[in-house]
Structures are given as structure tokens and as C-alpha cells.
């Protein structure tokens, strides 16, 4: 009798798990003036899925059907909702197999402020390094992942969007050389209950670093880079992803801020490649690659934003860091620094992740305003302690080690007097540090 009950329970459990369902999401992607993206992942049993939406308070609903392929082991879906009104709040609900899934949310389109009113004050969240423990595949010993309730804290923030700075999930040894494993890792981590409220609370943008790209510290030689790019683009719905099927770099704008999300892995030479040859920078050692560098320079020249934030998975400026940074790729570093100086590009800041501590690095430039590298890390992965040459880093103007954290950027002020502030918060929302700078401090004289 006991065996029969056990079998019945197992069969019932399998039946429940095999029901058509939403595995994760909804997650908001870019929400613009006239359209919005909403992401979900559905189970293999789903034959069709759609999204219904309406203006908040209006009973008239419209439906967008998903016309892509379903029925695979992993089924991430992005709905694109068009024809929206500006500065308007919409409600939406996800249907699967013609029935309500119970998953719903809302979003508000951007306001058309240009030529009409001052640039809006706004804020956004950012962070990097989200490790979720899975003991069967983790390395033995103390769990590397920390308190993931930080995402519940972040879900309560009133912010315009979230910007992931890399390592949004951590591939393991079992994933590195398995196409199925790359899909599994993104799907598994995205589906964790602790993330779900955060995913739908605000739009999400992302760049990657090594762990959500592939093995630790790997670059252009990763043999599954094409599949990794496909997976990343299916689990985030950025505005675009590189050019000519290469890389994931893109950009987004909000108010009078442009964010250039670069790709530090697709073209990256091995870190052990020599920095210099015969006393000169090695032209073959690159992080961003020629195609992306040209895009970045043209984008910076085109930009009229007050603050131009260059987002990189690895640090850029830190002169004393013993770890990977753009400065270790001197041809590209010098090319970018010379370009900024020669063209007198105002308002540039670097925003980076990776380091498992947070800090703000300041580097002076002769005849130009100083450059700042704002690092935010980690969200949940193991923390780092300042030590060695970095223990008393003379370039550091703010530092937070041994603490999980995220940052909230706020852009406020009248035209010509705009200010950018960065506030770091801990797991429960406790404030860990604050720094700010005005647009006047990021201009050539």
C-alpha cells in the first residue's frame, strides 16, 4: 500500500510539473515612447502564448500573439507591444494556451520632454555578480553565493530601470562546453522565486562579463561564443546586440543620459597576451575590438547627453589593480583616452562591475577634467577584501569591501546644473556610501 501511495505521489508530482506554465517572468525590457518589450519563459508544454494589454483604467484590451517557435527544452519569449501613447501607464497579462497564466504587471512609457520641458529627474539601479548556489554543481566548501534577498530589497526601489553590469548568472564547469548547459544555467537562475518581483518592477538592460559569457576570464577563444551570444540575447531583450552578428554592445538613453553598454569578451585577447613588444604597446592585444571601438567613438561624437556613461564588465582605469582591466590593453586604452582628449568629449564616466567590491576610482588628466570609474559589485557572489597594492589605493575616492551591495544613480537639477549622485546600499537597503558630481565638473574648460 505504501509503495502504491509513493508511486501515486510521484505521478501526481510529475503531472503538476508537466502542466503548461510560466517558468519565469514577466520581466520588463526597454520601455520607450511608443513601444515596450515584455519577457517571459514558458514550459515546453505551452503551444501558444500571448500578451493582453490596456491603458490603466480602460477596459478595452488588445492582444499580441507570440509567433515564434515553442516546445523546446527552453522557451524564452519576448513580446513587443507597439502603438503606445507617450507618458501613459499600461497594464498587461500573459496568457498561455488560450488561458490566463495569472502573471501580470504594468509599465509606463517615457515622456516626450525634448523641446518641450526640462530633462526629467530620474534614477536607475545597477550592480554585477549574481551567484545563486546550486550545491550539486558548486565547488565543495563554503557556498559562494550570498544572501539573495537583496533582490527583494531592490524590487521595492522606485527607479526607471535596472542595468546589469555583467555576471548576471554564473556558468559552472558542467555548463562551459555544453550548449544545453548554457541554456540551462540562464533558465535555472532566471526562474528563482527571489528574482520574480524584481524582474517585473522596472525595465532591465544588461551587458555581460566572463561568467555569463562562459568560463572564468575567457575571451575571443571561447568555442561556444556564438551559442553564448544567442542565449544571452534570449534572456535579455536589450535594444540591439552588436553589429553583423558580432558582439552584444548596444546603448540606451534616458532623459539627458546616454549609456553605452560595451562588450568586453567577444573580441578579448587572452589576458596573458603581452601588453607590449619591444617597449611599445602590443597592437594585437585588444579587449573591445576594432569594430566596437569605432562604434563607441562615433556614438560618443554623436551624443549630446549631459552624462555619457560607458559601461564595461571589467574595470577601466584602476592603475593599481592586479586584475583584468582596459588599462592592461594599452593600445585600446591609449586610443580611447586620446580620442576623448582630442575631441574634448564632455560628461564621460565609466561604470563597471566584476571586482566583488565596490569603489570609485579617480584618475587626473593634464589639461582635462578627471575621469572616474564607478564599480558596483557584488550583488550575491563572494565578496572581496581590499589588500595588497589596492589596500590603500591612492586613486580610490570611495570604497566598500566585504559587503554585498547595489547602487542607485540619481540624475537631478536644472538645465546647466545637472548633478549625478551614486548611493550604495546593502542587502536590506542600508546605506553604505554616497558620492556625487555635477555636470560642470565633467567639462573641458
pLDDT score for 3: 45
Beta bridge partners of 280: 277
Please name the residues in contact with 355: beta carbons below 8 A apart, sequence gap of 6 or more: 315, 321, 323, 375, 377, 384
Question: Which 3-state string (H, E, C) describes the chain?
Answer: CHHHHHHHHHHHHHHHHCCCCEEEEEEEEEECCCCEEEEEEECCCCCCEEEEEEECCCCCCEEEECCCCCCCCCEEEEEEECCCCCCCEEEEEEEECCEEEEEEEEEECCCCCCCCCCCCCEEEEEECCCCCCCCCCCCCCCCCCCCCCHHHHHHCCCCCCEEECCCCCCCCCCCCCCHHHHHHHHHHHHCCHHHHHHHHHCEEEECCCCCCCCCCCCCCCCCCHHHHHHHHHHHCCCCCCCECCECCCEEEEECCEEEEECCCCCCCCCCCCCCEECCEECCCCCCCCHHHHHHHHHHHHHCCCCEEEEEECCECCCCCCCCCEHHHCHHHHHHHHHHHHHCCCCCEEEEECCCCCEEEEEEEECCEEEEEEEECCCCCCCCCCCCHHHCCCCCEEEEECCCCCEEEEEEECCCCCCEEEEEEECCCCCEEEEEEEEHHHHCCC
This prediction has a pTM of: 0.95
pLDDT score for 18: 78
Domains delineated in the chain:
19-108 (2.60.40.10), 122-442 (3.60.21.70)
pLDDT score for 324: 87
Buried b or exposed e, range 196-233, using 16+ CB within 10 angstroms: bebbbbbbbbbbbbbbbbbeebbbeebebbebbbebbb
Ordered per-residue pLDDT tens for the chain, 445 residues: 444 444 344 333 444 457 999 999 999 999 999 999 999 999 999 999 999 999 999 999 999 999 999 999 999 999 999 999 999 999 999 999 999 999 999 999 999 999 999 999 999 999 999 999 999 999 999 999 999 999 999 999 999 999 999 999 999 999 999 999 999 999 999 999 999 999 999 999 999 999 999 999 999 999 999 999 999 999 999 999 999 999 999 999 999 999 999 999 999 999 999 999 998 999 999 999 999 999 999 999 999 999 999 999 999 999 999 998 999 999 999 999 999 999 999 999 999 999 999 999 999 999 999 999 999 999 999 999 999 999 999 999 999 999 999 999 999 999 999 999 999 999 999 999 999 999 999 999 8
pLDDT score for 17: 57
pLDDT score for 4: 44
Largest Cα span, the chain? 86
Amino acid at each position: 500500500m505504501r509503495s502504491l501511495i509513493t508511486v501515486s505521489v510521484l505521478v501526481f508530482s510529475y503531472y503538476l510539473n508537466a502542466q503548461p506554465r510560466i517558468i519565469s517572468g514577466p520581466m520588463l525590457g526597454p520601455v520607450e515612447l511608443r513601444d515596450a518589450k515584455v519577457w517571459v519563459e514558458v514550459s515546453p508544454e505551452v503551444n501558444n502564448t500571448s500578451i493582453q494589454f490596456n491603458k490603466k483604467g480602460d477596459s478595452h484590451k488588445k492582444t499580441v500573439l507570440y509567433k515564434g517557435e515553442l516546445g523546446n527544452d527552453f522557451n524564452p519569449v519576448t513580446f513587443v507591444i507597439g502603438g503606445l501613447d507617450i507618458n501613459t501607464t499600461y497594464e498587461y497579462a500573459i496568457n498561455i494556451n488560450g488561458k490566463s497564466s495569472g502573471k501580470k504587471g504594468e509599465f509606463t512609457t517615457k515622456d516626450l520632454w525634448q523641446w518641450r520641458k526640462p530633462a526629467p529627474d530620474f534614477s536607475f539601479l545597477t550592480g554585477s555578480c549574481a551567484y545563486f548556489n546550486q550545491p550539486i554543481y558548486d565547488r565543495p566548501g563554503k557556498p559562494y553565493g550570498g544572501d539573495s534577498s537583496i533582490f527583494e530589497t531592490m524590487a521595492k526601489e522606485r527607479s526607471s530601470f535596472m542595468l546589469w553590469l555583467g555576471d548576471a548568472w554564473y556558468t559552472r564547469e558542467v555548463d562551459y562546453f555544453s550548449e544545453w548547459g548554457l541554456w540551462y544555467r540562464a533558465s535555472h537562475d532566471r526562474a528563482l522565486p527571489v528574482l520574480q518581483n524584481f524582474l517585473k518592477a522596472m525595465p532591465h538592460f544588461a551587458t555581460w562579463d566572463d561568467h555569463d559569457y562562459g568560463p572564468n576570464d575567457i575571451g575571443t577563444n571561447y568555442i561556444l561564443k556564438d551559442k553564448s551570444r544567442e542565449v544571452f540575447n534570449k534572456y535579455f531583450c536589450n535594444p540591439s546586440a552588436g553589429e553583423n552578428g558580432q558582439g552584444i554592445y548596444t546603448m540606451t538613453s534616458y532623459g539627458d543620459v546616454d549609456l553605452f553598454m560595451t562588450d568586453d569578451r567577444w573580441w578579448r585577447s587572452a589576458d596573458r597576451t603581452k601588453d607590449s613588444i619591444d617597449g611599445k604597446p602590443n597592437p594585437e592585444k585588444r579587449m573591445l575590438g576594432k569594430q566596437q571601438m569605432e562604434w563607441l567613438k562615433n556614438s560618443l561624437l554623436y551624443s549630446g547627453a549631459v552624462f555619457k556613461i560607458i559601461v564595461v564588465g571589467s574595470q577601466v582605469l584602476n592603475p593599481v589593480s592586479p586584475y583584468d582591466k582596459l588599462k592592461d590593453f594599452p593600445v585600446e586604452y591609449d586610443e580611447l583616452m586620446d580620442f576623448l582628449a582630442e575631441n574634448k568629449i564632455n560628461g564621460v564616466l565609466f561604470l563597471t562591475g566584476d571586482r566583488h567590491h565596490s569603489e570609485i576610482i579617480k584618475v587626473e588628466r593634464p589639461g582635462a577634467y578627471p575621469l572616474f570609474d564607478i564599480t558596483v559589485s557584488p550583488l550575491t557572489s563572494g565578496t572581496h577584501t581590499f589588500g595588497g597594492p589596492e589596500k590603500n589605493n591612492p586613486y580610490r575616492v570611495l570604497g566598500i569591501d566585504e559587503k554585498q551591495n547595489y547602487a542607485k544613480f540619481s540624475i537631478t537639477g536644472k538645465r546647466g546644473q545637472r548633478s549625478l549622485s551614486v548611493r550604495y546600499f546593502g542587502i536590506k537597503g542600508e546605506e553604505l556610501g554616497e558620492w556625487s558630481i555635477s555636470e560642470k565638473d565633467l567639462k573641458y574648460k
